[in-house]
Chains A and B, each alone.
Chain A
Amino acid sequence: MNWFNLVPFVLLGAIVGLDVVSFPQAMISRPIVAATASAALGGHPGLGLALGATLELIALEMLPFGASRYPEWGSASVVGGAIIAGTPGQTITPTVTSSALVLAVLAALATAWIGGWTMVMLRRLNAVWARRATPILDTGSPRTVDGLQIRGLCADLLRGALLTAIALAVLNPIVDAVIHLWGVPPAQSRAVVVGVSATVAVAAAWKVFHTTKGAPWFFLAGLAAGVALAWAQ
């Protein structure tokens, strides 16, 4: 993947990074959307969907509650999507696509971790700007109100773009190197990555729903239906 090919992914990373908190919070930054869109840019929406679903299972655990710190899934999913779409473009084999899934999930998790930290930094920067503007804000200046808002939005857009660009620049060569050294059969590779994700999802479902009366029974009923659905496929 050359630098010119990265541009659409960086733009997408910027847009979905902005969606996480700043604008419009329509959840296009959720992995199931962002990873699919990113891989679709690379011509492999199906692989992106598998990656998005795997990441979505993990993302269920960390929901964007108020001022809490959480991983930034938007740009991270774009990075994962670019990796999974870019790698099999060279040599499509089951081993390559399965190992790419593992590596894309790992790359997305690492990027989401760093992305969460960049969001905290941005909030601190916004605080500095807000503190400096306080005397003028106290006079009711609409230009200052708008200025702070637009500056914050632009900074967040830039944050997402830089995060995506740096992550892809660093992780793409590593993934390309590791993929040729992969020594685990494809089905087992996929089983490990989706098994780990689903484990996090089970704990997340309990965390989110356990306080609701009757929820465990609904979960068990769903589990039976889900296994039947899986068997029927």
Chain B
Amino acid sequence: MTEPTRVPRKIWLAMFTRLLAVQGSWNYELLMGNGIAFAAEPGLRLLPETEYREALAREGRYFNCHPYLASIAVGSLVRAELERVPGPKIERFRTALCGPLGSVGDRLIWAGWLPACSLLALVVFGAGAPAWVVVTVFLGLYSAGHLSLRAWGLSTGLDRGMHVAKALAGPVFRRGPDVIARAGALLAGMAIPAALARVVRHGPAPGSAALYVDVVAGVLAGGVLLVRMHGRVDGWRIALVVLAAFVLYAVLRHG
């Protein structure tokens, strides 16, 4: 590996800030491509004019991955461009990055960190915490995860360039999703009855313990039914239909 090409702090910050908007023009033609060019642009300014334009054009082409791990892609692509790696080689590297950065990010964040943080916030809600505490727990924990992942990704990409694959084999990416999923399953078990109790039993005109037991039993039975229908129907659509029918019932009952 060659000596890392250092990027000034100001440029690192500009790239990091732009990475927050990496999906700003997400579309079905280039997907995240223009966003990658947008985030990489401050780093590419270190190149002479002709090479800068060639690199910017290359980085704006079709690209897709997880938005938080786009930081790894941007860092390593900028490093490769600054090291004058031949264009076709960068394009092949770019294509190779899409799959791993997409699947690793989806498992770690969308199927792991996000639901785990959300469920923890629901547990805190179920424990009776006030609104500001619940929101602070969720945003504080989630932001600590996504901001540090983005910052780490950009620095790691810039440090390792086209050898960034090794970073994805680290313990956080290999074991992290399973650890978070187990924690998420535990939190899901805690959050559902606790949140139910707070809404049913502790609102205005509290419901009885018998009503609460009925609801928990109904939820478990309904949950099993929905699991068996997995892949054929979205739960939120069923919720929409059931609640619309319930509103109609409530109005008819009044009449």
The size of the chain B interface, using a CB distance under 8 A, is: 116
A21 at the interface (CB under 8 A from B): yes
Tell which of B60, B106, B126, B198 touches A66, judged by Cβ atoms closer than 8 Å.
B106
Tell which of B26, B134, B226, B240 touches A202, judged by Cβ atoms closer than 8 Å.
B226
Complex interface residues of chain A between 154 and 194 (CB less than 8 A to chain B): 156, 178, 181-194
A44-56 interface bits toward B, Cβ cutoff 8 Å, 1 = contact, 0 = none: 0110111001101
**Which chain B residues lie closer than 8 Å to A98 at the CB level?**
203-205
B111-148 interface bits toward A, Cβ cutoff 8 Å, 1 = contact, 0 = none: 10011011101110111101110110011001100100
Decide: A24 near B139, CB < 8 A? Known: A140-B54, A219-B188, A227-B216: no
CB atoms of B236 and A200 under 8 A apart:
yes
CB atoms of A126 and B27 under 8 A apart:
yes
Decide: A202 near B219, CB < 8 A? Known: A98-B205, A226-B126, A227-B193: yes
A78 at the interface (CB under 8 A from B): no
**Which chain A residues lie closer than 8 Å to B52 at the CB level?**
140
B38 at the interface (CB under 8 A from A): yes
Most buried by A among B132, B184, B199, B255: B199
**Which chain B residues lie closer than 8 Å to A106 at the CB level?**
240, 243-244, 247
Decide: A183 near B255, CB < 8 A? Known: A219-B185, A222-B186: yes
CB atoms of B27 and A127 under 8 A apart:
yes
Interface size class of A (residues with CB under 8 A): 35 or more
CB atoms of B238 and A200 under 8 A apart:
yes
CB atoms of A25 and B182 under 8 A apart:
no
Do most interface residues of chain B lie in helix, strand or loop, or is the interface mixed?
Answer: helix
**Which chain A residues lie closer than 8 Å to B254 at the CB level?**
181-183
CB atoms of A145 and B38 under 8 A apart:
yes
Most buried by A among B64, B117, B189: B189
CB atoms of A58 and B235 under 8 A apart:
yes
Tell me how far the C-beta of B158 lies from the nearest C-beta in chain A, rounded to whole angstroms: 20
Residue of chain B at shortest CB distance from A48: B131
A65 at the interface (CB under 8 A from B): yes
Do most interface residues of chain A lie in helix, strand or loop, or is the interface mixed?
Answer: helix
Most buried by B among A25, A33, A201: A201
B3 at the interface (CB under 8 A from A): no
CB atoms of B114 and A27 under 8 A apart:
yes
A193-233 interface bits toward B, Cβ cutoff 8 Å, 1 = contact, 0 = none: 11111111111111111011111101111111111011101
**Which chain A residues lie closer than 8 Å to B173 at the CB level?**
none
- Complex-state Cα separation, A56 to B138, whole angstroms: 12
Most buried by A among B31, B117, B219: B219
CB atoms of B190 and A223 under 8 A apart:
yes
A8 at the interface (CB under 8 A from B): no
Tell me how far the C-beta of B164 lies from the nearest C-beta in chain A, rounded to whole angstroms: 21
- Complex-state Cα separation, A231 to B241, whole angstroms: 31
CB atoms of A203 and B203 under 8 A apart:
no
- Complex-state Cα separation, A196 to B243, whole angstroms: 8
Tell me how far the C-beta of B247 lies from the nearest C-beta in chain A, rounded to whole angstroms: 6
- Complex-state Cα separation, A222 to B186, whole angstroms: 4
**Which chain A residues lie closer than 8 Å to B20 at the CB level?**
23-25
Tell me how far the C-beta of B51 lies from the nearest C-beta in chain A, rounded to whole angstroms: 9
- Complex-state Cα separation, A207 to B235, whole angstroms: 11
Residue of chain A at shortest CB distance from B197: A230
Residue of chain B at shortest CB distance from A231: B197
B34 at the interface (CB under 8 A from A): yes
B205-226 interface bits toward A, Cβ cutoff 8 Å, 1 = contact, 0 = none: 1111001101110111011101
Tell me how far the C-beta of A108 lies from the nearest C-beta in chain B, rounded to whole angstroms: 10
**Which chain A residues lie closer than 8 Å to B56 at the CB level?**
140-142, 145
3 tightest Cβ-Cβ pairs between the two chains A and B? A222-B189, A202-B223, A140-B53
What are 13 A-B contacts with C-beta separation under 8 Å? A32-B138, A105-B243, A109-B239, A127-B28, A142-B56, A150-B24, A183-B251, A195-B218, A198-B215, A198-B223, A200-B236, A230-B126, A230-B201
